[in-house]
Amino acid sequence: MDDGISAREFGQTDGTEDWRVVGDGAVAVFRTASFGTATALAAAIGSLDGVEAHAPDIDLRDADVHVRLLTWSDDYYGMSRRDVALARSISALARDHGAASRPDLAQSVLVVVEAIHNADVMPFWKALLDYEYRADSAAEDLVDGRRRGPAFWFEEVREAHDVRNGIHVAVWVPQEHAEARVAAALAAGGRLVSDAHAPSWWLLADAMGNEADVSAITGRD
């Protein structure tokens, strides 16, 4: 990948202020005045020069337009300078449509599956979900070829769990909102299992011991 950049570099580049790297890809959420305005903004994004060659993922809900930018190839899965250029163009269109940037609404969900040997369980999940091996990390990642469902990451562990389930969810949020999300989860009845890796991620659990991570890009590159 000749134009790949780190998540940190993407976030520090002028013109990306509306965007947050959360898990795989940079996400921006633009709130418009109406569903009609939201669809008009999405149509304008679809009309940008060259967008067919590097199309973003766009999702509309009511008056909100969620956009994700991601570059992938056989040896790369992340941010690129093409994404920087596209982010700037999309932000400009959003301003033209009177849309408000809502980076606090950006998030991404990752499902983490623990296994003694990834190769023993990945084929099952691939078939069950009708997912694909991620080209650059096929030994540990499955992704939805439709680019709709959450990614699955397979974490090899030393021994099987006798009691608790070996699956948990990681919720990626903008780094400036991570501590508030942790606090909200704890206030809602959760408990802190570990903050050894904070501010990259916190491991939490609900009252039954089901675990989840709150994750941010901080310190990862």
pLDDT over threshold 60, residue 117: yes
pTM for the full predicted model = 0.90
Q: Is the pLDDT of residue 6 over 60?
A: yes
- What is the architecture of the domain spanning 108-215? Roll (3.10)
CA 80/CA 9 separation, integer angstroms? 10
Please choose, from the candidates 204, 200, 180, the residue with its C-alpha nearest in 3D space to the C-alpha of residue 213. Answer: 204
Give pLDDT, residue 58. Answer: 97
pLDDT, one tens digit per residue, over 140-171 is 999 999 999 999 999 988 776 655 568 899 99
Helix axes 35-46, 81-96, angle to 10 degrees: 140
Q: What's the rounded mean pLDDT across residues 11-26?
A: 95
CB 171 within 8 A of CB 109: yes
Burial class (CB in 10 A: 0-12, 13-18, 19+), 191: exposed
Residue 52's identity, in one-letter code, is E
Side-chain half-sphere exposure of 143, counting CA atoms within 13 A: 17
Dihedral sign computed on CA atoms, order 75, 69, 214, 141: negative
| Sequence ranges of the domains in the chain | 4-105, 108-215
Residue 132: half-sphere exposure toward Cβ, Cα within 13 Å: 9
As a whole number of angstroms, the distance between CA 20 and CA 26 comes to: 5
* Residue 99 to residue 90: CA distance in whole angstroms: 11
When the candidates are 3.30.56.10, 3.40.50.1370, 3.40.50.300, 3.30.1360.20, the CATH number that belongs to 4-105 is: 3.30.1360.20
